[in-house]
Amino acid sequence: MSNQTMESTRCDGSSSKSSAAILLADSFREQGLVALGECGCEIVMDPSLKDGALVEAIAATNPDILVVRSTKVTSEMMCASERLSLIVRAGAGYDTIDISAASKRGIFVANCPNKNSIAVAELAWSLILSCDRKVPDQVIDLRNGSWNKKAYSKASGLHGRTLGVIGLGGIGKEVISRGKAFGMNIVGWSRSLTDEVAVELGINRCDTLLNLAKMSDVVTVHVASTPETEHIIDATFLDAMQEGATLINTSRGKVIDEQALLQAVKEKNLCVGLDVYQNEPSAGDASFSPEIVGQSCVYGTHHVGASTEQAQDAIAMEAVRIIKSYITSGEVPNSVNRAKSTPAKAILSIRHLNLPGVLAHIFELISRTGINVEEMENVIYEGSEAACARIQLGELLTQEQIEKIRGNDNVLSVTVSTINT
């Protein structure tokens, strides 16, 4: 393992022990490394770490924070460090991280959304143009000494044709703006798309995926990999597509049923551009030859949608922002595994003097009730003399239990409100 531990230097320039130990298991931009070093973080970086080697590295370094790009993070890796409390995915998708395992161990997982939107949209358009003009084939023929203008003078063209966009997050919106520049008619679908938003985007809303498939000359997919989106492009969708239409996927391999796609390519003369695949290698270099990429009308790239210098600089600095926030305030921007709701039934609001032992006494009283604390925050007022604790409880307290809390001389007031579920 290559150890690139940077000398710990705080932002004020004074030397000190690091405020957090960070393991970078993938490459990371230099400006991001410098920014983390300026915050006094102790950094170990080794982009070669994968699988068992990463488990060993986590056990050896016992980091507070793990940063990854495409590297898979498993439950075994999380269990290798008792200190690990934050995993940062330096990118948007986080399907390579075992979110369930992280949540069970109380480890935050955060991502860096919308920082690579332009880069992925640019690659999607390079694939669209490749499908229309057969650019890769033309290059290969020229390199082989073959001139075939007649065969390559049959492009359909894009102006005036219909572009169907599935998924209207940051990437989808960037694809739309470029589609307008090409003069295409654009239809879109997402579960959350409304007519009002469609009007704002300057597109037409499709009420179903099948309608989008039927209407579109070019379909491009930009959805996250979730259980709901697995094989969202299936045999039924592909059968609804127009003969000779184009399909682009720069999102995740699992969103397309690859066997159904292979059949559709053979039967419907579809032209396909792929940057992602169902069982693509996790390593940067590997043998890989799925049947789909061997088809003459399929153009594939190597899951490099986000791999531009511009995108990686932006992602690195977003990762730095997340880490800085966490080590200075405990807040985790872009957390993907914080519960959207809790089983709490009541909020206990306690204004109290900001003195040692006050909260300890309150929590001791709550503990005796057998009621669980679901979430809490303690806000300090200007001057640091008083504070307000807002405690979400799994059950309502009795009036007698509330009066015991009020009985603390350092408690200024106690109010209880119910949570409507």
Which amino acids are annotated catalytic?
Answer: 252, 280, 303
Number of CB atoms found within 10 A of residue 378's CB: 14
AA letter at 183: G
The rounded distance, in Å, linking the Cα atoms of 42 and 49 is 18
SS3 125: helix
Cα–Cα distance, 58 to 77 (Å, whole number): 7
Checking 228-236 for CB contacts under 8 A at 24+ apart, the result is: 229/254, 229/255, 230/254, 230/255, 231/255, 231/256, 231/257, 231/260, 232/166, 232/256, 233/166, 233/257, 233/260, 233/261, 234/260, 235/260, 235/263, 235/264, 236/210
Token pair 């604790």: residue: 389
> Shortest CA distance to 28 belongs to which of 75, 81, 71?
71
H runs (alpha helix) in 182-273:
195-201, 209-215, 235-240, 258-268
CA dihedral 366, 372, 375, 380 (to 10 degrees): 10
Q: Is 365 helix (H, G, I), strand (E, B) or coil?
A: helix
Q: Is 67 exposed, middle or buried (0-12, 13-18, 19+ CB in 10 A)?
A: buried
The whole-angstrom separation of Cα 2 and Cα 45 is 7
Task: List, in sequence order, every residue forming a beta bridge with 274; answer none if it has no partner.
Answer: 249, 300
CA distance 394 to 286: 50
CA distances from 272 to 43, 150, 298 (A): 42, 22, 5
How far is the CA of 371 from the CAs of 252, 343, 346, 394, 405, in angstroms? 43, 12, 11, 6, 14
DSSP, collapsed to helix, strand or coil, labels residue 348 as strand
